[in-house]
Amino acid sequence: MRASDAALLIIALVVAWSLYRAQRDETIQFNLLDLLVENGRVSKLACVFMGSFFVTSWVIIRVALDGKMTETLFAAYAAAWIIPVTAKLFSGPSPTTTSHSTTSTQTSSTP
C-alpha cells in the first residue's frame, strides 16, 4: 500500500467516523439511511448511485495522485457526477403531477 492510499483511507475513515457520530448525536437531525432510502424503502438506484460515486471518485483521486490525470478523464468525471448534481441543486422544484379520473354512466330507458 502506498502512502497516498493510506492517507486517502485515513481521510475516508475520518469522514465515516464523523458521519457515524452525527448519526448517533440526538441533537442533530441527520440519518445516514436517508442517503439510501426513498419513500421508506431501500432504493436500489440510490445504492448503485452511492457505490458508483465512491468508486469513480476514488479512481479520479488515485489517477490525480499518480500524475496521470488528463482533461478527458476529468471532463468525463464532471459529466458523470458534478454537472448533474449541480444542475439538480439549481433547478426549480419538480412539477407535481396530478391524475384525475372521471367515471360516467349511461342509462337507457326502454319503453
Say how many domains are in the chain: 1
- Please report whether residue 76 resides in a domain: yes
Residue 79 counted as domain residue: yes
What value does the mean pLDDT take over residues 57-75? Answer: 90
74 is a domain residue: yes
- Domain-located, residue 10: no
CB under 8 Å to 95, separation ≥6 — which residues? none
Instruction: Kindly state the average pLDDT of the residues 71-100.
Output: 79
- Residue 89: per-residue pLDDT: 82
Of the pLDDT bands very low, low, confident and very high (cuts 50, 70, 90), residue 23 is confident
As a whole number, mean pLDDT of residues 10-37 equals 84
For residue 109, give the amino acid letter.
S
Note whether residue 6 is domain-resident.
Answer: no
Query: Can you give the pLDDT at residue 80?
Result: 87
Percent of the chain residues topping a pLDDT of 70: 82
Q: Give the highest mean pLDDT range of 33-37, 79-83, 93-97.
A: 79-83
pTM score, whole prediction: 0.59
Whether 22 is covered by a domain: the verdict is: no
Pair 60, 77: CB distance under 8 Å: yes
C-alpha grid cell, residue 35 = 442517503
The Cα diameter of the chain in Å comes to 95
State the residue range of the domain holding 53: 44-91
Tell which wins on pLDDT, 41 or 99. 41
The answer to the question of residue 8 being in a domain is no
- Residue 68 covered by a domain: yes
Is pLDDT at 21 greater than 90 in this prediction? no
